[in-house]
């Protein structure tokens, strides 16, 4: 779990320019990177403008400059951003916590991580219990993503016929959809090129996910429009929604550079969601075979 926390920090903290890893010293020395303690990271203010680097990053400011926009001090820029947000939502913005809707999952965990450490580790030290708690928090975010699109019964074209012809038509339509949108390689093929070894990845390899996303979305769209015999409605929905989860995973993987936590979560979830989809396919296929053989 610590590896994932460190991966996240390495992706979002500008001071890390190499591949060295954290070394956890004893409780007196705390969690360190070389001779840099966690407290140093929380309080680091490279441009000495009174705003921590991590906070400037959350607002899209340059932590290396007191004036990210020439002529406007960063503290003034932050106040303007708050006012702008207030005018857009007609709601008062009092704290940075109310600006989360425009943050990535990585940004949100970044703020939570640094705020937690700043509050609980005043002397710059951190113990194993704290590390485990942070790891657990991150694991929950990765393993329990927010539910997005879910197809409902009301979105499916249901037919009351439950005869042989209705299942022949359904089966033929489904087969034609898959023939219409062929795929020359799989997500796992792409991930093998993305993960070079235990320490290195190639984010550019993820561009090859685009055709898979495009084809899968077309399959989903066509499946949502086809006629479905009432007796297999649930099986059809399970198959459709399992595909939707997979395409969401694939889309999230593509965000590795901008939102690594979301991408890592998607990669983690993909295998299980693939298994669930295969189960949904098998269940649907078995029922169709029974109907066609009767």
What's residue 43's pLDDT? Answer: 66
Q: Do 208 and 101 sit in the same domain of this protein? A: no
Pair 10, 136 in one domain: yes
Residues 278 and 160 in one domain: yes
Same domain, 13 and 124: yes
Domain boundary, last residue among 107, 124, 143? 143
Domain around 109? 2-143
What is the domain count for the chain?
A: 2
Looking at the fold, whether 97 and 196 belong to one and the same domain comes out as no
Per-residue confidence in pLDDT tens, the chain, 294 aa: 333 333 333 333 332 233 333 333 333 334 443 444 445 555 678 888 888 776 777 677 888 888 888 888 888 888 877 676 555 545 444 444 444 445 677 666 666 666 666 555 555 455 666 666 666 666 666 666 666 789 999 999 999 988 999 999 999 999 999 999 999 999 999 999 998 887 788 999 999 999 999 999 999 999 999 999 999 999 999 999 999 999 999 999 998 888 887 888 888 888 889 999 999 999 999 999 998 987
Backbone angles phi, psi at 57, to 5 degrees: -60, -40
| Shared domain check, 137 and 189 | no
Rg of the chain (C-alpha set):
25
User: Token digits for 56?
Assistant: 């400037």
Shared-domain flag, residues 89 and 184: no
Specify if 115 maps to a domain.
yes
Taking each helix axis as running N to C, give the angle between helix 128-143 and helix 2-12, from 0 to 180 degrees, rounded to the nearest 10.
Answer: 80
Last residue of a domain, one of 143, 166, 187: 143
Q: Look at residue 234 and tell me if it is in a domain.
A: yes
Alpha-carbon distance 107 to 91, whole Å? 22
pLDDT at res. 69: 86
Report the pLDDT value the prediction gives residue 259, as an integer from 0 to 100: 81
Domain end among 143, 176, 195? 143
In a domain, 148, yes or no: no
Q: What is the pLDDT of residue 62?
A: 84
Q: Can you tell me the distance from the alpha carbon of 74 to that of 51, in angstroms, rounded to the nearest whole number?
A: 8
Are residue 181 and residue 235 in the same domain, yes or no?
A: yes
User: Is 6 in the same domain as 128?
Assistant: yes
Give pLDDT, residue 94.
46
104 and 175, same domain (yes or no): no
Distance CA 99, CA 59 (A): 9
């Amino acid at each position: 779990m610590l590896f994932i926390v460190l991966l996240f920090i390495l992706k979002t903290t500008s001071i890390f320019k190499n591949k060295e890893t954290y070394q956890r010293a004893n409780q007196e020395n705390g969690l360190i990177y070389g001779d840099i303690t966690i407290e140093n990271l929380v309080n680091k203010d490279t441009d000495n403008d009174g705003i921590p680097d991590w906070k400037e990053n959350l607002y899209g400011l340059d932590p290396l400059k007191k004036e990210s926009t020439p002529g406007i001090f960063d503290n003034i820029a932050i106040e303007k951003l708050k006012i702008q947000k207030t005018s857009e939502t007609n709601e008062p913005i009092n704290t940075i916590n109310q600006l989360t809707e425009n943050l990535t999952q990585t940004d949100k965990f970044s703020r939570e991580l640094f705020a937690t450490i700043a509050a609980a580790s005043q002397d710059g030290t951190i113990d194993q219990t704290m590390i485990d708690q942070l790891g657990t928090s991150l694991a929950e975010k990765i393993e329990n993503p927010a539910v997005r699109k879910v197809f409902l019964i009301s979105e499916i074209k249901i037919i009351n016929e439950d005869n042989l012809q209705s299942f022949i038509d359904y089966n033929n339509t489904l087969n034609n959809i898959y023939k219409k949108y062929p795929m020359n390689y799989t997500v796992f093929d792409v991930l093998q090129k993305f993960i070079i070894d235990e320490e290195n990845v190639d984010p550019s390899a993820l561009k090859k996910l685009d055709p898979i996303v495009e084809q899968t979305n077309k399959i989903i769209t066509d499946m949502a429009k086809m006629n479905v015999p009432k007796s297999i409605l649930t099986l059809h929905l399970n198959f459709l929604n399992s595909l939707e989860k997979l395409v969401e995973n694939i889309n999230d993987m593509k965000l590795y550079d901008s939102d690594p936590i979301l991408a890592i979560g998607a990669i983690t979830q993909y295998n299980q969601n693939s298994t669930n989809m295969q189960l949904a396919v098998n269940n649907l296929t078995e029922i169709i075979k029974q109907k066609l053989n009767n």
